[in-house]
Amino acid sequence: MNGKVLFALAFFALVASSFAIRVSDLPNSAVFKNTKLDVVQHSGYIIVNKSYNSNIFYWCFESQSNPSSDPVIFWLTGGPGCSSQLALLFENGPFTVNDNLQLVPNPYSWNSQATVCWIDQPAGTGYSYANTDYIHNEAGVQVEMWAFIQGFFQQYPQYQSLDFYLTGESYGGHYVPAISAYIAQQQASGTKVVNMKGSAVGNGWVAPIIQFGQYGPFAYANQLINDRVYSQMNATYDQCLKELQAGEYTYSAFETCESIMQFVLNANPGINYYNIKTQCSPPPLCYNFDSITKYLNLASTKQTLGVPSRITWEACDNAGNPFIPNDELHSYASSVPTQLAAGYKVMIYSGMLDLICNYFGGAAWLESLSWPGSSSFNSMNLQNWNVAGSVAGYYKTYDNLTWVEVIGAGHMVPHDQPANALSLINTFIGAGF
């Protein structure tokens, strides 16, 4: 939601070729020397649109286990317009950044059993750049990410035959389904570019027309609103639904629909809409990313990663603006059955303390899907999901679709429940639930 090692020096030329070197001097990273976290890294750019000089940045960490056979995971942060490097350094990467700009090891990094790449897209997000912010919907996203995938595996053919998973969070609920369905379509009648096995979305903004309607029930169930406010929210949703069903993907409809959550915020001043058990400090992103921002803007960091010195990294920037209101109001739930039909595994998971993309909405849009297994999936009861002998959440799975509700986590599950999130992704890319 808007709320706003080797590296490839592809940005020196308008082609997807690169010059690769081993980087061993990330600033303030001495603590990682000779540890299991000291893995081969890749960073750089793939050019996906020469007309706009569109350069997509990636930062990859090989698996700590067996990089020659372990899966490859791509991670896409949402926003739209928020950098995936934010997730790397705040959620599920090998390290975080402290107030002294020292890198601090993360024992729950998602590269424990997979090679993971955090990708800044669309162009203009994070370290990525272009002549202008020109991508405005998933049609553009999927085409350019397909170009990125092709360029990436040309650059790193050692990974091409490995199992591949596309993952993301928040507005990744638009990105991941759209891109995954596009991959299925492209590979159905052509050369197999990537060994696609599945996708996962955490607290995703997937089907607005359904998810807007679950703000009221979620807030009421969590005692955030009274009966009067609940009634007002439902009435506002009725108007939102009417406008979206009429195809009015306009700023007027956007403001009507977005105002539903505002009832909850007005009734709970200062609440963190990403985790209702905490306060939003500072708004609008509700977390302090100053150390991460400073670290990623160090001249030495940019030089090490192959980022042009002129680039200023921001957690979330204007690249997401063209997506509002049209793309943000559209549903991409219909892309999920396309993935399922292609044989891809799909996991949708949700931290139960998130308001903005809450799990009531996630469960509701999943139940609305039309696919051969829908009746069986919808009739299943949730089971306990256990990690290290304790109940970490609840799940159900049928055929190649899995739904997981994560206890004690908000919008950013890997940040709030790092050990359980690692178990979650490793189970998904492994034997499954």
Which one of the listed residues 63, 109, 170, 331 is annotated catalytic? 170
End-to-end Cα, the chain, rounded Å: 28
- Greatest Cα-to-Cα distance within the chain, rounded to the nearest angstrom: 62
- Using a 10 angstrom Cβ sphere, with 0-12 exposed, 13-18 middle and 19 or more buried, the burial of residue 433 is middle
Which residues does 403 contact at the CB level (< 8 Å), separation at least 6?
347, 348, 349, 362, 363, 366, 395, 396, 397
Tokens (6 digits) for 293: 């921002």
Question: Quick check: 123 and 54 in contact, CB under 8 A?
Answer: yes
User: What is the chain's alpha carbon radius of gyration, rounded to the nearest angstrom?
Assistant: 21
- Annotation says 354 is catalytic: yes
Which one of the listed residues 133, 327, 354, 416 is annotated catalytic? 354
Per DSSP, helices labelled H in 58-117 are 84-87
- Using a 10 angstrom Cβ sphere, with 0-12 exposed, 13-18 middle and 19 or more buried, the burial of residue 236 is buried
Partnered with residue 58 across adjacent β-strands are 44, 119
Which one of the listed residues 174, 330, 411, 415 is annotated catalytic? 411
Q: Give CA separation, 158 vs 71, 116, 173, in Å.
A: 12, 14, 29
Question: Quick check: 195 and 162 in contact, CB under 8 A?
Answer: yes
Instruction: Determine how many CB atoms are found less than 10 A away from the CB of residue 391.
Output: 10
Q: Give CA separation, 236 vs 225, 260, 300, 374, in Å.
A: 15, 6, 50, 30
Question: Quick check: 330 and 170 in contact, CB under 8 A?
Answer: no
Tokens (6 digits) for 16: 């997807």
- Annotation says 411 is catalytic: yes
Strands 401-406 and 390-398: antiparallel
- Which of these, 292, 173, 6, 241, lies nearest to 233 by C-alpha position? 241
Residues 220, 403: Cα–Cα separation, whole Å: 23
Q: Known catalytic residues?
A: 170, 354, 411
